[in-house]
Chains A and B, each alone.
Chain A
């Protein structure tokens, strides 16, 4: 028997900021969930199950916080699951929720991901003083910067490409009322003059630290038929994982990412992603990852991704807009970041992306990754229901 088609009929997120001091953790997730329900014009009683995701529990200092959040998310008496797949978790969480609908286990599922980084300090959570390990570095930037250098060497990309991505994404964020960073006076010169933190990564080419949540309501065909606004239809979705470090790992273009994209394209009937996909919301925590992922996802040949960026193809009005929302570079509540990518893809094909809407977006890819470039989650959503 074939799978039940999965539709996104509700999307909600908080206004992402450095610190939401006016709400509890429950208040934060509730706000996103409530907005997703409102978008779908549903009530708590319409929800059959809740699937929640976030990154490490140490970030808020609450172990398995879904237990405490059950009441706020209307999950009492219902199934509730908690996913954790590192940075990709927001995407993985949505895919687990989608499976529940696709398998016809449930009709309508609320999925949500969040991080309230202001409760602690991600730097602390990521560098607990594990004995016998040599402390060499703090922060994710230092971890990823050597891979960026390897990409630059491999592709021969000019060293300005990273700043072009940051400049574009921060301008896109100005059109997104939910984005964390709204740098109204941003200029390319400012990005290029910002300090080198982890050479070759500049300050303005890194993501902020945010409090935020994102939620979606997923439903079946019957649920979509009742929905008040257009649905986004899932045409393909996949997760792929490979080990953190291993002999022969391609840290610049990990095979797990390529395989994951290939699986999604196969499901969605995408023969040529560059031609068949209208826009991409990808997980770019450091600006150079845009050209790197463009290659990894098959939008450009190896070593050629930076040319798409440099020639303006990935601009909001370009031929293949990338990170229309402003991306992770403008908003990063870690656990939610993957789901925000998936949600942006859905908003685009629903035609509800507001000022950052891409005209005529019919098929859009949402992408998330995490860990040591090892966990990948992606979905491709379309404006029309899948035909097969």
Chain B
């Protein structure tokens, strides 16, 4: 059996996150170099401020300013920063309890090395040069041996508050489709459609799925099907999808290839879209370099009778 197929898969999107009032105030505050906490019913101050008390579940809205200085409650030295992390050079992850707060904030500490970091050390915020209203408006923390800074008593009210953030996220995967699909793709490269037969129910699956889904056993016996097939049903697509380079309207059809026990999906062309019908006989049309048939076109054979394919609908 030939080598396993692999290809990169990037899952990336700029998520648009609305904030709600408490998170809006906190992130707007960072833009203005003000750090806000939120006071709970029993008088604790949570920084960063959350919307709901983690102990009582009550909604909390009482914002209070805290200092940009604080104390490290725990730390971890990160000698190899990863994509997206606050600093590109080695740094310490810290939980820092800001002066005036009862809980700790997670961020990065810029320090020369692990020997320069310890629990209980004093640190202060280093603000980012450009601030937009995001947690990254704190560039990082830095060691600080000065006086405790006094908060100015900001009310938490801002004009022009940030109400949302854009959070881009990218994850990279290496996708491998597994044994059955790999075999199918290799056959396609030779312009052959090869399915697999279930050893138990004898049905032929094209494309093969690795398992016969009704019997729950591996399929293995390869069976060449087609190239001819019958359109069992279809729709006419009239809206253009952003990520698809297909002119509309086009016909998206379920096609039962001769010898297969269920239909696969493909595009029908070579016939006006409004003349495509259930029962139409079609065959694949290959293009140079295409992994799959580009589309299917009518063979000119008489239509298949409904009764012969209705079980495949």
Q: Is the CB of A22 within 8 A of B235?
A: no
CB distance from B57 to the nearest CB of A (A): 3
Which interface class (under 10, 10 to 19, 20 to 34, 35 or more) fits B?
A: 35 or more
From the candidates A23, A135, A150, name the one contacting B20 in the complex (CB within 8 A).
A23
Taking the complex as formed, is A72 at the interface, i.e. its CB lies under 8 A from any CB of chain B? Answer: yes
User: Residues of B at under 8 Å CB distance from A?
Assistant: 5, 7-11, 13, 15-20, 23, 50-57, 59, 163-164, 167, 169, 175, 177, 181, 185, 201, 203-205, 209, 212-214, 232-239, 241-244, 246, 249, 252-254, 261-262, 265-267, 278, 291-292, 306, 310-311, 313
From the candidates B212, B213, B232, name the one contacting A244 in the complex (CB within 8 A).
B213
Across chains A and B, the number of contacting residue pairs, with CB separation under 8 Å, is 176
* Secondary structure type dominating chain A contacts: loop
Which 5 pairs show the lowest CB-CB distances between chains A and B? A138-B241, A243-B213, A145-B235, A74-B57, A131-B7
Q: Is the CB of A26 within 8 A of B213?
A: no
Q: Is the CB of A146 within 8 A of B234?
A: yes
Q: Is the CB of A250 within 8 A of B313?
A: yes
Q: Is the CB of B235 within 8 A of A246?
A: no
Nearest B residue (CB) for A200:
B235
Interface size on A, residues (CB 8 A): 63
Q: Is the CB of A76 within 8 A of B57?
A: yes
CA distance A244 to B209 in the complex (A): 11
Residues in B with CB closer than 8 Å to A44 are 56-57
From the candidates A24, A131, A135, A196, name the one contacting B9 in the complex (CB within 8 A).
A131
CA distance A119 to B55 in the complex (A): 28
B-binding segment of A90-98, A120-128, A335-343, A356-364 = A120-128
Taking the complex as formed, is A130 at the interface, i.e. its CB lies under 8 A from any CB of chain B? Answer: yes
Residues in A with CB closer than 8 Å to B262 are 245-249
> A129-B9, A145-B235, A245-B213 provided; 15 other pairs, C-beta below 8 A?
A19-B18, A27-B51, A72-B52, A130-B175, A131-B9, A132-B7, A136-B267, A138-B242, A147-B313, A153-B278, A198-B235, A198-B252, A199-B236, A200-B235, A243-B213
Taking the complex as formed, is A154 at the interface, i.e. its CB lies under 8 A from any CB of chain B? Answer: yes
Nearest A residue (CB) for B57:
A74
Taking the complex as formed, is A71 at the interface, i.e. its CB lies under 8 A from any CB of chain B? Answer: yes
Q: Is the CB of B252 within 8 A of A71?
A: no
